[in-house]
Structure 1
Amino acid sequence: MSIEAEMTVLKRLGFFACLPEQQLRALVFGAERMRLHEGHELYQKGDIADCAYIVLGGRVDLFQPVRRSLGADRRIKEYRQVVYAVKAGTLLGAFALISDKRRETGAYVAQRGDVLRINRTSFRRQLQQSADMRSRLYTYIFANFQSMTMRLENRARALASV
């Protein structure tokens, strides 16, 4: 996929759509392109989140690791419980670019495809160099937070009236 095509994908994602063209281009140019086969694990629950992934093709499943004792012998069985299937054009781990945190789920490639990996260091470098980028990102995050708060308040009112 060309850099222009990758930029088009990122421009459709709210988190990146708000960024100035120059910074977006620098991020895409510096990103790692990964062609991944089915079964490849991107990360595990609890890993330090130091990058975001943009799924360009294929499917990535987010999962919670589950441990259960099964059968008469009570052997421990570990498996992945899929909580969400992520398709092309989706951003995974946006807030890993701006905050130090750990992954809440694991992620593995369920269907062969391509991802773009943007690391936190590159993103923060662009953020430090551009007051416009900082301002736009702040506005985007604040608007999303307000929207989420309103949805939660509406949901709480609806539940209270039941």
Structure 2
Amino acid sequence: MFITLHAAAGALAGELSPSYPSAFAFGFLTHFPLDMFPHGDRGFGHRAKHGRAARAYTLMVIADAVAALALMYGAILTGRFDKPFHAFLGALAGVLPDVVVGLTEYAQVIKKSARTYFRRFYRFHTFNHNRVITFYDFGMKFGLVYQVIVLLLILKLW
């Protein structure tokens, strides 16, 4: 899933939460059901670990993160949230699992480190991400369309 979608879902969960800790917890938990659905990126990161593909993947992740920040910034500025800090915490927590996985992959692939501090979490995230997708996955273009539709539905609920 794209970071923007995880941030939007986490923000919605955070907005609906009664407290800061629950906003963070519910935002974090929104990540996993979204990753279970086929969304076209199953092997994308694994194909992009070296050379030009790695640079293109890195630029795509940066663009996605900037889009997520712009979306949250715009929503907070326009008053879309009654509890903006709750929404912010939810959005932050919604993308946190992918940040942990990204740092783990960076340590393993780029730095060739045998140490992985979040090894169990990494395995859980990978299992969750690939559970349904193992049997069926969309192509990247269809996955992008699917994610945009889900994002629009979440934005409608804001």
TM-score, normalised to structure 1, is 0.28
Q: Which has the higher helix share?
A: 2
Whichever of the two has the greater Rg, that structure is: 1
TM-score, normalised to structure 2, is 0.28
Q: Which has the higher strand share?
A: 1
Between the two structures, name the one with larger relative contact order (CA 8 Å, sep ≥ 6): 2
